[in-house]
């Protein structure tokens, strides 16, 4: 009798060296646990088949279909015969399978009436879809009643046939056969879910769930198996986040209470406008957090232009009033410089300590970036180290050795998704005690994502726009269908400039030269032309539709001082049009800019487009955003653009964005470089399950903070939420 397999048993001991190597190299499956947790992507049913009519040319597919007829004919260009097999799925859709060479045995095997799984790449020949030389496995009984079930296809004996994420070299039935071999001797790990949770939530045991998800005995059994395994995923993440939040509450921090008669009161008195109700409410929450003896861990999310910067500045002033320093970490020098200028303008004499005309109790606001000259850097670092600079703004240059704070009390991270955990930790480590942390994002976060990815943070939301912000009108410009509309777009831009306003033209790509983070690959898988590039578009516009206008160029490959000079020129009104990449996506604030034209808009994400258009309409004049695209009407890309144009509600668009992205992207799989551990759980579809898992996690951690009484759960959390994932999830 073979030795029982566990999650750690190498696959080569179970399925042989050759198959194990294929599973490892093509699918990164190396142990019995890897394979058992490689769940089917769908299930085919006899009678409910994949609709062949819905297959796209170029798609790698596995279809369940029945042989209808076969035909053999000699080939004209080469010796031998061509076997053509027509298969159908019962819904009217047919597919032609082609096999080259003399293969009489295959003709005998593929008799009309036989059902099989056929895998290959869909091609088209003379208007007919076909698979050339597909891999296949035959199922069930032949049309003449002859038993035809072999050992190789035993796993398909049930009514529900699992179809796995596969590779050309490892088709789905090979995976199914390997799963069957493993399950025959597999001993599941100790059940990680506490028995009380299993009982209260009516969840099946882990062993049963793992068996039924691969070899379901019924639809109901499959549903229960999937529900149970989704719980494992949701519960592991929620326990991790609740546990981290619980631990953080015990950390010591220096309280930074508000001080009557201090800088904050003076700042509020000189603000040229009233705070919105939302800004006031969030300000009260943050003030209370800062006054507590434990570090604040708060996420501030708000629509583009909702006034997050003012809220953050008020928090920074409260810390300065309490004798500490506050640092704001921005993702780009353009944004850091913008914050510096904006805060100096808002603070006026309050931010010019030591200068002529400064206010009593004023502080200094220092900018620390990588492009500072040696003398300016020495002076700035001296101000930071002495504590004279109460507010310090900068890029990742703040993280370098040699940047020392006298008493760092608050870290503000702007556009937090642009930073890695190591960078946030490096700044936090510059404080004697854990500082208070405020992370900000202008990308609205769907409820389930906030509950899952940011579950260890308190979340505050600014939904109102400050008075004086103008509405933004958005339209899709179908450049391929109606070229005249694009001509009209350029005339519309000229009209705005003639009226004294300014404009942005945004491109997906920089142009010739090495690529950068803001640079997508030059050509996509569908063979479309390369995306529009700043360095190519700017001269074409200058010679063509925007001839005579003052045009500037801004992208991430420019030297820092040049980027800053371009932004200063645009902000001062010395440029009419800025042709840029997404480097302007966040934080750039030029109230006189009223129109934005986004070229190849379908190459951008929904939330990114919403961020970009937030750069216009920031003054008294209304904003206009034109989304130029060659995407065909009715295509998913065009529908996405139509959705962006139809609403300014960032939260609605965030939900749409979530629907169109893989779960792994949402949870940062790309940041950590690992496959997402969310194999079944959907942040979009399983909101109620995630909410219930969080409630159970809170109850459990309150009773057993370190999971001392749940060793199997502790091990499961460590396995599902690996080291990199845990760091990514930690947002403070």
Tell me the two tokens of residue 550: 């003052």
Compute the average pLDDT of residues 710-727.
67
Of the listed ranges 140-149, 413-422, 674-683, the least confidently predicted one is 140-149
Write the pLDDT tens digit of every residue in 36-82: 999 998 887 654 556 777 777 777 777 888 899 998 888 776 677 88
Q: Is the backbone of residue 126 left (phi > 0), alpha (psi -120 to 50) or beta?
A: left
For the chain, domain boundaries = 12-191, 263-290+307-441, 472-650
**263-290+307-441 shares the fold of 12-191:** no
Tell me the two tokens of residue 728: 């990514």
- Rounded to 10°, the helix 219-248/687-703 angle is 50
Give the Å distances, CA to CA, from 159 to 49, 154, 373, 649: 11, 12, 72, 45
**Alpha-carbon span 130 to 326, nearest angstrom:** 64
Give the Å distances, CA to CA, from 293 to 289, 356, 377: 9, 37, 34
pLDDT at 518: 47
Give the Å distances, CA to CA, from 566 to 333, 488, 561, 574, 575: 12, 27, 9, 9, 9
Cβ 116 vs Cβ 65: under 8 Å: yes
Q: Give the β-pairing of 577-580 and 551-554.
A: parallel
**Alpha-carbon span 639 to 602, nearest angstrom:** 10
To the question of pTM greater than 0.85 for the whole model, the response is: no
When comparing pLDDT for 214 and 424, which is higher?
214
**Alpha-carbon span 76 to 13, nearest angstrom:** 48
Reduced to 3 states (helix: H, G, I; strand: E, B; else coil), residue 137 is: strand
Buried b or exposed e, range 425-449, using 16+ CB within 10 angstroms = ebbbebbeebbbbbbbbbbbbbebb
pLDDT band at 186 (very low <50, low <70, confident <90, very high): very high
CATH class, domain 263-290+307-441, is: alpha beta
How many C-beta neighbours within 10 Å does residue 701 have?
21
pLDDT at 729: 40
pLDDT band at 515 (very low <50, low <70, confident <90, very high): very low
pLDDT at 150: 40
pLDDT band at 90 (very low <50, low <70, confident <90, very high): confident
How many C-beta neighbours within 10 Å does residue 113 have?
13
pLDDT at 453: 62
Report the percentage of the chain scoring pLDDT > 70: 84
Tell me the two tokens of residue 703: 């009773």
Mean pLDDT, the chain, as a whole number?
83
How many C-beta neighbours within 10 Å does residue 513 have?
10
pLDDT at 214: 94
Give the Å distances, CA to CA, from 114 to 49, 146, 174, 308, 310: 15, 11, 20, 65, 70
pLDDT at 256: 96
**Alpha-carbon span 684 to 682, nearest angstrom:** 5
pLDDT at 467: 66
| CATH label, 472-650, candidates 3.90.1150.10, 3.90.1560.10, 3.40.50.300, 3.10.20.30 | 3.40.50.300
Q: Which CATH architecture has domain 12-191?
A: Beta Barrel (2.40)
**Alpha-carbon span 138 to 67, nearest angstrom:** 10
Write the pLDDT tens digit of every residue in 586-635: 657 788 999 999 999 999 988 789 888 988 988 888 899 999 999 888 78
**Alpha-carbon span 167 to 705, nearest angstrom:** 43
**Alpha-carbon span 583 to 336, nearest angstrom:** 12
- CA-nearest of 329, 319, 442 to 387 is 319
- List Cβ neighbours of 385 (8 Å cut-off, separation of 6 or more): 404, 405, 406
pLDDT at 701: 93
When comparing pLDDT for 489 and 154, which is higher?
489
């Amino acid at each position: 009798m073979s030795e029982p397999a566990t999650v750690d048993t190498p696959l080569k001991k179970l399925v042989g060296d050759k198959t194990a190597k294929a599973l490892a190299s093509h699918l990164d499956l190396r142990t019995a646990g890897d394979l058992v947790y490689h769940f089917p992507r769908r299930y085919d049913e006899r009678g409910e088949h994949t609709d062949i009519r819905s297959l796209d040319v170029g798609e790698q597919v596995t279809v369940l279909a029945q042989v209808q007829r076969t035909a053999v004919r000699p080939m004209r260009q080469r010796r031998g015969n061509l076997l053509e097999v027509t298969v159908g799925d019962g819904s009217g859709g047919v597919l032609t399978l082609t096999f080259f060479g003399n293969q009489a045995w295959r003709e005998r095997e593929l008799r009309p009436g036989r059902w099989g799984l056929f895998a290959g790449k869909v091609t088209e020949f003379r208007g007919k879809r076909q698979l050339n030389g597909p891999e296949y496995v035959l199922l069930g009984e032949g049309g003449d009643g002859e038993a035809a079930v072999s050992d190789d296809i035993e796993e398909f004996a049930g009514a529900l046939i699992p179809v796995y994420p596969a590779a050309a070299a490892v088709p789905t039935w090979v995976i199914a056969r390997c799963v069957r071999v493993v399950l025959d001797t597999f001993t599941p790990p100790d059940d990680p879910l506490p028995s009380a949770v299993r009982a209260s939530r009516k969840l099946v045991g882990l062993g049963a769930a793992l068996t039924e998800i691969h070899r379901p005995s019924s639809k109901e059994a499959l549903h229960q198996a999937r529900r149970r395994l989704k719980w494992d995923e949701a519960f592991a993440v929620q326990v991790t986040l609740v546990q981290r939040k619980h631990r953080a509450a015990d950390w010591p921090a220096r309280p930074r209470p508000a001080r009557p008669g201090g800088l904050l009161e003076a700042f509020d008195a000189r603000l040229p406008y009233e705070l919105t109700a939302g800004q006031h409410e969030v300000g009260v929450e943050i003030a209370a957090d800062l006054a507590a003896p434990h570090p604040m861990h708060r996420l501030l999310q708000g629509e583009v232009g909702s006034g997050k910067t003012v809220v953050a500045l008020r928090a920074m002033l409260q810390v300065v009033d309490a004798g500490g320093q506050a640092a704001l970490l921005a993702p780009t020098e353009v944004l850091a410089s913008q914050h510096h200028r904006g805060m100096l303008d808002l603070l006026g004499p309050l931010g010019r300590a030591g200068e002529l005309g400064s206010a009593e109790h004023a502080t200094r606001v220092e900018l620390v970036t990588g492009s500072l000259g040696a003398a300016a850097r020495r002076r700035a670092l001296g101000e930071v180290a002495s504590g004279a600079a109460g507010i310090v703004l900068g890029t990742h240059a703040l993280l370098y050795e040699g940047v020392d704070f006298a008493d760092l009390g608050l870290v503000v991270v702007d556009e937090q998704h642009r930073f890695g955990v190591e960078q946030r930790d490096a700044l936090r480590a510059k404080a004697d005690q854990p500082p208070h942390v405020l992370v900000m994002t202008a990308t609205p976060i769907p409820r389930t994502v906030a509950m899952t990815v940011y579950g260890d943070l308190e979340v505050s939301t600014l939904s109102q726009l400050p008075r004086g912000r103008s509405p933004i009108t958005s339209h899709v410009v179908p450049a391929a269908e109606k070229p005249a509309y694009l001509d009209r777009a350029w005339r519309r831009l000229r009209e705005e400039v003639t009226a004294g306003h300014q404009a942005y033209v945004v491109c997906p790509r920089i142009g010739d030269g090495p690529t950068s983070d803001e640079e997508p690959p030059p050509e996509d898988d569908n063979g479309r032309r390369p995306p529009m590039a700043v360095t190519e578009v700017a001269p074409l516009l200058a010679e063509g539709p925007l001839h005579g206008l003052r045009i500037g160029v801004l992208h991430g490959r420019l030297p820092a001082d040049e980027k800053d000079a371009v932004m200063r020129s645009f902000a001062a009104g010395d440029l009419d049009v800025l042709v840029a990449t997404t480097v302007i996506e966040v934080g750039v604030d030029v109230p006189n800019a009223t129109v934005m034209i986004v070229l190849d808009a379908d190459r951008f994400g929904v939330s990114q487009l919403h961020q970009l258009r937030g750069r216009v309409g920031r003054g008294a004049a209304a904003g206009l955003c034109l989304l130029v695209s060659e995407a065909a009407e009715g295509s998913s890309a065009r529908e996405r653009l139509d959705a962006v144009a139809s609403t300014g509600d960032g939260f609605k668009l965030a939900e749409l964005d979530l629907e169109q992205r893989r779960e792994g992207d949402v949870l940062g799989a790309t940041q950590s470089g690992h496959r997402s551990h969310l194999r079944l759980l959907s942040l979009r579809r399983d909101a109620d399950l995630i909410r219930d898992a969080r409630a159970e996690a809170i109850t459990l951690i309150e009773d057993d903070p370190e999971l001392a009484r749940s060793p199997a759960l502790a091990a499961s959390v460590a396995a599902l939420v690996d080291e990199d994932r845990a760091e990514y999830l930690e947002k403070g």
